[in-house]
Each structure stands twice: as structure tokens, then as C-alpha cells.
Structure 1
Amino acid sequence: MLITLTTAISISQTQNVQAAANDNSLAAIKKKGTIVMGTSPDYPPYEFLVNNKPVGMDIAIGKQIAKDLGVKLVVKQMDFDALLVGLETHKIDMVLSAMSPTPERKQSVDFSEPYYFSGQSIIINKADKEIYKNYKSFYNKKVGAQTGSLQYDLVKKQIKGAKLTGLTKVTDLIIALKTHKIDGLVAESAVATAYVKNNPDLVVINGGFDLTDTGDGTAIAFAKNSTSLVTAVNKTITKIKQQKLTTKYLADAGKSLKVNVADTSMWSYRSYFIKGIGYTLLISLVGVVLGVLLGTLLALCRLGSIAPLKWLATGYVEFIRGTPLMIQVMFLYFGLNIPALTAGMVGVAMNSGAYVAEYIRGGIDSVAKGQTEAARSLGLSSKDTLRYVIMPQALKIIWPSLGNEFISLIKESSIVSVIGVTDIIYQLRLVQAATYKGIAPYAVAMVIYFVLVFGLTRLLNFAERKMQHA
């Protein structure tokens, strides 16, 4: 037993020494001249957006780190629960997003020294302030927390019988709280205070949680075995603490928050939605064009006589139709290391192509066999028969189904927001975080989608009428 334990320790130490010897994390950052910071900008005062630009204490710390390393800071916006995946797949170099260095997280990533210490609070409706005093008041109650966060784990472990609601965005949890779908929302004290200041119907109470085994403060996450980079960043953190810069950063964040809430009308945030419309239309257009081309090719392969191509096309269609679009997009982005916008467009096109293939195959099968026989009897080749006789008739048959696919594509493209593509859904969440309004941005997004879909529907109906009279 002792010999086995000694051997295991020796192997572990050897592996750690080898990892340290092979560590070039700092050198790699300096060589490329940039350090990519991943963050979820819906968490004021740590990180949020003003005029579509990320600001807050974590952004300021990121800039100081980049300055001290002599490189340029690049901020990549992602959902909070995708940040560690982005780190492990080297999409980002560090996570600065109010993350706590919990023991579970330390198993997969490295952490810097803590740069800020904040307690854990609970946000409640002001009308309930006499009911709830601390976390024990929420036994068997409905409690919300951000998915993948320390607060989520605190609710699970310390609030007995809690009916936990986990969402990726704090803004959505605030809406859930104000509409009484949850009784309380657990958040870091600084964040809770920021939200309550801009929501007069809410108040914050001290959570009173036991934080002994939850990680010490807030720290920066790095890929495993990034010792040299962590050491360099710790020097910056030491300087920040000595000069008490976090106080300045929080004060600056407070000023930025006032800018956001000075005018919270949706019209003043129209640039956010316009940007989202542009990306949504781009992704939908590329998805339609590539989807039709891919779908046509797959349909012809399935109807052809070349067995390997037929099997390959059938397997592709069945696999794509049997897996969620969200998983496909995330696999392209994280698994194959494709840029976010490209991954979104390719994912949507690949998914659409599988469905379009079935529409086209069904349309071709619906054309009477006599049409093919008549064309061949007139001397047309198989290729010309398909091109000039079968496909035009099939197109008329499948046009309504294709139209529905095009309409669905506009709405389903919202999936790309999970990997940080700034489509309409992503932009509405940014507006929610900036204005502290929950319902109004949803209403605007609904109107935008309706206008886009209604316009496309009229265009498709016009094209259908033209084809019927052709």
C-alpha cells in the first residue's frame, strides 16, 4: 500500500515537473501579441455593455493585464456556462467573469490569486422583505441562480428542499423574480446591489451562506498548466491590490451604469437591434443558399444508383435530423475550432440542407413517372430530363415546404447566440443587461421577427403565384 502510494506521488510529481518544463503559455501570448479574454457581459458591475462596448471592473483588470504583458486585449463575449469550455478548447486565453475558484473548477483549469472579495446575497421582491431574512428562509422555496455559477452550487448544497431554477442570464432570472416565478435570486453582493439600485421593486438581503469550501474570492481562470502566464498575471493582481485599483474600477463601473439607465427607452438602444438584424439576415441568407445547394446534392445522391453516395447521403440526413441544431453549432465552434460567425452560418446551412434534401426528394418522387418516359421518348437525356422536366414540376410541388423552411431558418438562427454571435437574441440580452428592463426587449424582438417573417411570407407567396401561372 505504502509502495503504491509512494509510486503514485512520484508519478504525479514527475508529470507536474514535465508540464512546468513544457509550459510556454506566457511566451505564446507574447508571440501572438494578443490575450483573449472570455466574459459574459451581463453581470454589472463586473462586466456589462455601454454603447455595445464591454466595460466594468473585469474589463479594466483585463486591460491592465494586457498592458503589463505588453500585448493587446481582445474581449470575446460568451455565455457564462460556455466560458470554461472555451478555455479548454483554447478559444480564449483567460476567463475574467466574476468567477470563483471552486475546488471543482480547479481540477480542470488554473486560477490566479483572487483579485476581489465579495459576499453572496439574495435578491427578493420588496413586498417580501419581511418574509425572508437569509438563505434558511428559502427552505422548500423556489430559488434562482445562474447556471454553472458558484451561486447555483450554493443553492443545491445549502438550501434544503429548494426548487432550483437555473438560467444562463441573470437578466432572465430578474424577470423570473419580478414575475414571481421564483422567490429569490442568489447573486454576488456587488452584482445584487447593482441590479437592486436600478429596480425599485427589488431589495437585497445578506445570504448568510457558509462559504468555507466555495473558493476564496473572485479570480481569473486559465488553461491547465499555464504556470508562467498565471505567475505573470499574479504580479498585476498584486499591483492592483497594493494600489487599491478595484475601488477605482468599481467607481468607474458605477458611472457607466448611470449612462445606461439615463435613457432606457428601446428607441435609444435601436443600434443594438439593428446590428442584430444584420447578423440574423446574414446567417439566414447564407443558410438558405448553402442549404438549398447541399439539399439538392443530397437528394440527388439518395435518388441515384451509386450505392456509396446513397448510403453517405442517407446517413448524413438521418444524423443531422436526429441531433439538435444547438449541439451541431457548439460542436463546430468548440470541437472543430471554427470562428463563431462561420460556425453559426455553416451549422445552420448543414442543418437546413438535411431537411431541404427530404423536401426535394419527396417532390421528385411526386412527379408522375409518365413525365420521365415522355421526355426520354422525345430524345432527352437523363440529365436534361431532370433539369427541364422533373425539377421544374417538383419545385412547384415543394415550394410551400421550402417556404416554411426559409421562415423557420430566420427564427432558428437565434441558436447562434449561444456561441456569442450577435444576432437579434444576443442583442436583446445585452439591452436587458444595460437597461435592467426584462420584458420590453423581448417585445421589440418579437416585433422584429414578425416583420421579417411576414415580409418573407409575402415574397414567397408572390413567387408561388408566379410559378403557378408560368
Structure 2
Amino acid sequence: MEEPPSGCPPPSVAIGAHRPRTSPRAIAAPGLSLLPAVLALVWSPAPAPAQNTLDRIRTTGLLSYGCDLEGGGPYAYLDPDRPGRLVGFEVELMDALAARLGAEARLSQGQWDQLLNVLDTGKIDVVVNGYELTPSRARTYLASRPYYIFQLQVMVRKGSPIRSWEDLKQPRPGGGRWRVGVLGGSSAEQFARENQDGSIDVRAYTGATDPMMQVLSGQLDATLQDLPASRFYGPQFPGLESVGPPEGRGYYVMYARTEDSALVEALDRDIGELIADGTLERIYRKYDVWTEAQDELADLDPDLLAAEVAELSREALRGGPLIWKYRNHLLVAAGTTILLSVASMPLAILAGLFIAIGRLYGPAIVRLPLAAYVELIRGTPLMLQLFVLFYLANLPPYVAGIAGLAINYSAYEAEIYRAGLQAIPAGQMEAALALGMPRWLALRRVVVPQAVRIVIPPVTNDFIALFKDSSVCSVITIVELSKQYQILANSTGGVLEFALACAVLYLVMSLPLSWLSRWSERRLRGGVGDSQASKRGEPE
């Protein structure tokens, strides 16, 4: 038995003894004694206001900024000479700004197109990663003064007939459309989609170097990159060249939460000082990202810039009208999701069935490789399998997507069918063989049909899961429903509206599968429902 905690008096009543009756006055006394404490809580003054972000940064000496190292140089990347040390023009810029605030800058890694969502959680103070000043972002967040004026550069394989962006507006020799890769969610993607007449197939990637590799492999005709990225990675891809004059124009800014106006004002002031004393130019020239356009940073009219941001921040469509405006984009993306799922799941089921039969009834020379296949596929992520098919095998996006989903799910379907086949009593196969059936015919006519009925529920669950797992195909440039949501949410700011619309579409796609599953089970039972079956032990 546990001893009473230290400092507490031992119980005064022994086990089994009669407990003395407590008077009503004794009961009321504790309640009256708590009254002053309750009143103190009710009438206590309001707590002091929470410390704002700028004060917290100065107090803790830490400025946290969101950045994606996957995007790499020249923004932020690991020093190849000193692994573990971060370098890049934005890294040095944030170090200089943090020093002026009396703090130390700390990079917080995050996926590029999700950094603003991380900012909303309060886990970082600002987002600094080549984020452009756009209307949707300016409506939701506070933007700093520009710290870089960027342009876009077309990159092609050496010897390509494409010599400028204007050439991409012309019909492609041999038919079809020009294939151009961009960083998903960037101004390059927006420019590529808006500045054409249907002659370009724009493919969005999660990193800047991915489309460059695809241009070299021949999967793409060109890539449109921010000028800093094209200058930094150009020497690493000697088979590529930059063609034509830089296209477009925009501002890199830092984003903060709307309540952090004091922090943004301090950053604006310090950026201006870095421009005035030449520190910014020195950093940019170090990383070869200084251009003639940067001379305009010092001459930007604050009032004119504030008016431009206010214009960008003007309220746009919201709610139902916003969803209705982009309904075709959502429906086409939902159709892509259906195509990927409907094309890959039958292949996965068929492959899974043959793998299960081979593991249970095949010779050892067949069983061992099939078992290794199942473990390999189940033990590696779907994204990695898609990368192998798309980048190494160099398959077209939709072929790689359908094949990747089918291969991945075939391993899981094989285990489901193996369990279903093992659930059939061994006497079924023995009776069929005794009747003179060959083994393959006994499997096809006797064992497999019974196993199929058993596995319908788990296979249906996998089919529903496949609809959602098809979103991983966005990493190989396929714009399915989840990717279209990210594109529309980033470009319009309608995060909640499009999230609800996509949820409804996913539900509409998955519900018929549940109904089909129940209908199939009833059919395989001979049309007899559970409610029609007689109860065990009742006379019929």
C-alpha cells in the first residue's frame, strides 16, 4: 500500500472504522473559504497584452525565418566546402538584418509552397525564400519592402531551335505543344500560363533543378527559371544554355503576419540601410545575382510602392463565386484523379492476384522472388518509386503515374488476396482435384471466386485510399485534384474555399465505391441480405 505523500497528514480513520458524521456547517465552511479566491479571479485585472513579435525577437535574441533548402542556391544551401554551414544570398541577408535587430537569424526548413501556412502557425517569424509580391499573398500577409528585383530566364538544351520566349508562342514543329517546366507556385508558373495562346504545356515541379534535368533528358523543351537560379545552376548543367532576354519583372519580399506591423517596419528600415551602405550589393555580387535592375531598389518611391501593395491587396472574389469561377479547373483535376485511380487499380488487383497465387501454389523458384518483390515495394515510399519511373526510366508523366500506383498497390493487394486464398478450406482444392480438375482450373473455378468474395471490403478500402494517394503524382508534374488545390489556393488566396470544394469532390468520388462494394457483396451472396437470413437455432 502506498504511503501518503510527504507533507500530508496520514488518514485519521482506519479501514473498517465508522466514519464520524459531518455537520452541515462543516460542509459549508470549505465553500465559504473559497469565495474570496473566486471573487479574486473574477475581479482581477485583465492580463497584460502579449509581447509582440519584434519585442520577443529582441528579448530572446532569435529571428526565425522560413526557407526551403530543397530550392537550393543561390538563395540558401549547404556550403560544399564546409558541410553543415548554410550559405546563400538570402542567408547572408537575414544574418545582416538579424544583427541590426540585436538577434541571431535561424533558418527553419519547410516545403516552399507551404511556408506561408507554417507562418500562420506562429512557428516562424517571417518567410524569406524568393517569395514574390503577388495579389493573393498581399491580401493575407504583410509584405516588406522589396529586397530583390527579379526577372525570368528561358533555358534550353544547346542547339535547340528555341531562342527566346517568343519562339514558344509559335506552333511546335511536328505538332503538339511545347513542354516547359517551372517551379510550382512561382511567378514563373503564372507567367508561363498567362503569356501564351495554348501553344505551351506548363509542367510544375517541386524544385528548380528538376525541370533542368528534364530538359537535358528530352522530357521538356525548355524551362523558365528565376534569373538568380538560372545563373547559379547554369554551370552545373553545361548542356543547357540561357536564351533570349530576361522576361517579366517582379519583387522578392518578406512576408509576416498581419499583426506584426512593427516587425515589418523594422525590417523595411534595415533593408533600406543595407541598400544605402552597399552591404546588399556586396552580398549579391558575391553570389553573382546582382543585375542592373537592382539599382532601382534605392530609388523605389515608398508611397508609390505602398499604393501598389494596396492595389494588390484589394478584396477579390470569395466564397461560392470564387469556386464557380475556377470550377472547370477543379473538375478537370478531379477527372485526372479518376483517370489515375481507375487505370491503375485494376492493374494492381490483377498483379496482386497472380503474385498471391504464385506465392501460395508456385514452386520455390517463383515464391522467393515474389516475396522479395512484395517486401521491397511495401518497404519503399511511393514517391521514391515514382521518381525512379519518371526520372531514371524517363517515362512520360501519366505512364509513370499509373505504373507507379499500380506497382505500389499490387504489393498490398497481393497480401490481401493471399489472406483470402488461405481462408478457403484446403478441402475445397482437394475435392476439386479428386474430381479430376487440373490445379489451375480448380483455382479458377473453385478457390479464387470464393476468395474474391472475402476480399471485397479490404480491396474497396484500398481503392478509396488510392484516390487520395494519387495526389503524390503531383511530384512528377501531374496536376490532379490536390495539386490543383495548391495552385488555386496560392494564386487566389482562397485556401478555405478550395479546401472545402476539394473535400466534397473527393467524397463524391469515394462514396460510389462504398455503395458498389456493398452491392457486390450482396450479389456474391446470391442476393440474400443479412436481415433475410434466419437466426441460428430458430425453427424455419
Return the TM-score normalized by structure 1.
Answer: 0.61
Distance in structure 2 (CA, Å) of the matches to 1:343 and 1:337? 8
Letter in 1 for 2:259: A
Distance in structure 1 (CA, Å) of the matches to 2:366 and 2:269? 63
Q: What is aligned with 1:201? A: none
Residue 349 (structure 2) pairs with residue 292 (structure 1): yes
Match of 1:127, SS state, is coil
- Structure 1 residues 382 and 25, CA, compared in 2 at 3 Å: closer, same or farther? same
Aligned positions of 1:46-445 closer than 5 A: 46-48=188-190, 54-55=193-194, 59=195, 74-81=200-207, 82-101=210-229, 105-109=233-237, 110=240, 112=242, 115=246, 120-133=252-265, 210-216=283-289, 261=316, 265-445=322-502
Q: What is the Cα deviation at residue 88 of structure 1?
A: 4.1
- Structure 1 residues 273 and 365, CA, compared in 2 at 3 Å: closer, same or farther? same
Letter in 2 for 1:112: S
Distance in structure 2 (CA, Å) of the matches to 1:341 and 1:27? 27
Matched residues, number: 327
Distance in structure 1 (CA, Å) of the matches to 2:381 and 2:236? 27
Q: What is aligned with 1:151? A: none
Picking from 29, 33, 36, the partner of 2:179 is 36
Q: What is the Cα deviation at residue 73 of structure 1?
A: 5.5
Q: What is the Cα deviation at residue 265 of structure 1?
A: 1.3
- The answer to whether the Cα contact below 8 Å between 1:261 and 1:434 also exists between their aligned partners in 2 is no
Residues 134-175 of structure 1 show CA distances to partners (whole Å, capped at 9, x for unaligned) of 66999xxxxxxxxxxxxxxxxxxxxxxxxxxxxxxxxxxxxx
Distance in structure 1 (CA, Å) of the matches to 2:266 and 2:388? 41
- The answer to whether the Cα contact below 8 Å between 1:39 and 1:95 also exists between their aligned partners in 2 is yes
Distance in structure 1 (CA, Å) of the matches to 2:496 and 2:280? 31
- The answer to whether the Cα contact below 8 Å between 1:101 and 1:111 also exists between their aligned partners in 2 is no
Letter in 2 for 1:54: R
Residues 249-305 of structure 1 show CA distances to partners (whole Å, capped at 9, x for unaligned) of xxxxx9xx99x9567611221101110111111111111111111111211221233
Match of 1:450, SS state, is helix
- Structure 1 residues 217 and 431, CA, compared in 2 at 3 Å: closer, same or farther? farther
Letter in 1 for 2:435: L
Residues 420-464 of structure 1 show CA distances to partners (whole Å, capped at 9, x for unaligned) of 212111221232244222222112111111222122112212212
Q: What is aligned with 1:159? A: none
Distance in structure 2 (CA, Å) of the matches to 1:337 and 1:43? 25
Match of 2:255, SS state, is strand
Point out which structure has higher relative CO (alpha carbons under 8 A, 6+ apart).
1
Letter in 1 for 2:201: V
- Structure 1 residues 332 and 291, CA, compared in 2 at 3 Å: closer, same or farther? same
- The answer to whether the Cα contact below 8 Å between 1:280 and 1:413 also exists between their aligned partners in 2 is yes
Q: What is the Cα deviation at residue 111 of structure 1?
A: 5.1
Distance in structure 1 (CA, Å) of the matches to 2:379 and 2:325? 42
- The answer to whether the Cα contact below 8 Å between 1:340 and 1:421 also exists between their aligned partners in 2 is yes
Q: What is the Cα deviation at residue 97 of structure 1?
A: 3.3
- The answer to whether the Cα contact below 8 Å between 2:231 and 2:289 also exists between their aligned partners in 1 is no
Q: If you compute each CA radius of gyration, which structure gives the higher value, 1 or 2?
A: 2
Letter in 1 for 2:378: R
Q: What is the Cα deviation at residue 131 of structure 1?
A: 2.2
Letter in 2 for 1:78: A
Residue identity over aligned pairs, in percent, reads 26
Residues 83-114 of structure 1 show CA distances to partners (whole Å, capped at 9, x for unaligned) of 23423433223321324147752342245377
- Structure 1 residues 101 and 24, CA, compared in 2 at 3 Å: closer, same or farther? closer
Letter in 1 for 2:289: D
Distance in structure 2 (CA, Å) of the matches to 1:96 and 1:461? 50
Distance in structure 2 (CA, Å) of the matches to 1:43 and 1:305? 53
Residues 165-221 of structure 1 show CA distances to partners (whole Å, capped at 9, x for unaligned) of xxxxxxxxxxxxxxxxxxxxxxxxxxxxxxxxxxxxxxxxxx969423333269xxx
Q: Which has the higher helix share?
A: 1
Structure 1 runs not aligned, ≥5 long = 1-22, 64-71, 139-206, 219-253
- Greater displacement, 25-34 / 73-82: 25-34
Return the TM-score normalized by structure 2.
Answer: 0.54
- The answer to whether the Cα contact below 8 Å between 2:181 and 2:205 also exists between their aligned partners in 1 is no
Distance in structure 1 (CA, Å) of the matches to 2:517 and 2:375? 28
Distance in structure 2 (CA, Å) of the matches to 1:335 and 1:76? 21
Structure 2 runs not aligned, ≥5 long = 1-156, 164-171, 271-278, 292-308, 528-540
Match of 1:26, SS state, is coil
- The answer to whether the Cα contact below 8 Å between 2:349 and 2:410 also exists between their aligned partners in 1 is yes
Distance in structure 1 (CA, Å) of the matches to 2:266 and 2:376? 49
- The answer to whether the Cα contact below 8 Å between 2:360 and 2:418 also exists between their aligned partners in 1 is yes
- Structure 1 residues 136 and 468, CA, compared in 2 at 3 Å: closer, same or farther? farther
Match of 1:112, SS state, is strand
Match of 1:47, SS state, is helix
Match of 2:326, SS state, is helix
- Structure 1 residues 133 and 41, CA, compared in 2 at 3 Å: closer, same or farther? same
- The answer to whether the Cα contact below 8 Å between 1:364 and 1:394 also exists between their aligned partners in 2 is yes
